[in-house]
Amino acid sequence: MTDSSNDFSYLAANWVSVRERVDDACRSAGRDPGEVSILPVSKTFGPEMVRAAMALGLHRFGENKVQEIRSKSEALAGEDIAWVVIGHLQTNKAKDVARLASEVQSLDRLELADALQRRLEIESRTIDVLIEVKTSPEESKHGLAPDGLPAFLDALRGYDRLRVRGLMTLAVQSEDPAAVRACFHQLRLLRDAEQGRGHDLPRLSMGMSGDFPLAIAEGATEIRVGTAIFGVRHVSKHTVPN
C-alpha cells in the first residue's frame, strides 16, 4: 500500500523484536523459549491493523472490550481469528462473549461463570477460561482475591462449558521491579498450591509490554503484549465503556 496511514511495515519488525526479547528472557531464566507464547493485544486498533498482524501469521488477539470484539469480528467476518477477552467483563456481555470469544482470561466471580455457562449452552459452545487473580493492592485492578481461589476453583468444576486452564494477573504499576515481580511470584505460588489440590492449571498469563521479562522469570506461559507490537494507543474519550 502506498498510503502511509496504511503502512504497517513496522509491525513485522516489532513482532520479531518482541519475540527475540521473549527468547532472551527465557534463556536468562533457564527456560525453553517454546514454553512462552505471546498474545498480541489489539485493543483500540482497527480491523486493518488486525489484518496486517494476520499477514505475519498471528490469529489470536486479546481485547478488553466486548464491543470492540463485536465490531472487529464483523469487519473481519470469515477470517479465522480467535478473540480472547482480557478485560473486566460485565455479566450482561455474556451473550456476545459466548457467541464470539474463544477464551476469557478475566473470569473472577461465579455470577459471571453462571451467565457464561447459560449462554454457552444456548450456543452449544465451550470456551477456555483463566481465572483473574488480584495480586496487587490498587483499587483500579480487578480480579478474585487470592484467598477466594480454592473455593472458586472447586465451584467451577460444576460448569461444563468452561474449561479452566490456568490463572491470569496484572502486576502492580510500580517503578520497583521487586514489587512487580512479587505479584507474578504470588500467582505462580497460588497455581502450584491449587495443582497440589488436584486442579489442572498449566497456563499462567502474566506480563505485558513493560514487565514481561520479570513474568517470564516467574514462570509465565503466556504474555499479553499491546504497545510493544502495535505502538502507543490513542484512546478516544468517546470510547464506550465495557
Ligand X SMILES: *Cc1c(COP(=O)(O)O)cnc(C)c1O
The residue ranges that bind ligand X (CB under 6 A) are 41, 43, 64, 86-87, 170, 208-210, 224-228
- Amino acid (one-letter) located at 84: V
Judge whether 80 and 92 are in contact, CB under 8 Å: no
In whole angstroms, the minimum distance from the beta carbon of 215 to ligand X comes to 11
User: How far, CA to CA in Å, does 218 sit from each of 28, 33, 37, 83, 213?
Assistant: 12, 14, 14, 26, 9
96 DSSP assignment: H
The answer for residues whose C-beta is within 8 angstroms of residue 235's C-beta and 6 or more apart is 44
Looking at the Cβ atoms of 87 and 219, the one nearer to ligand X is 87
In whole angstroms, the minimum distance from the beta carbon of 21 to ligand X comes to 12
Looking at the Cβ atoms of 68 and 194, the one nearer to ligand X is 68
Residue nearest to ligand X (CB): 226
In whole angstroms, the minimum distance from the beta carbon of 64 to ligand X comes to 4
Looking at the Cβ atoms of 73 and 169, the one nearer to ligand X is 169
Looking at the Cβ atoms of 120 and 206, the one nearer to ligand X is 206
The answer for residues whose C-beta is within 8 angstroms of residue 62's C-beta and 6 or more apart is 39, 40, 41, 42, 43, 84, 85, 86, 105, 224, 226
In whole angstroms, the minimum distance from the beta carbon of 210 to ligand X comes to 6
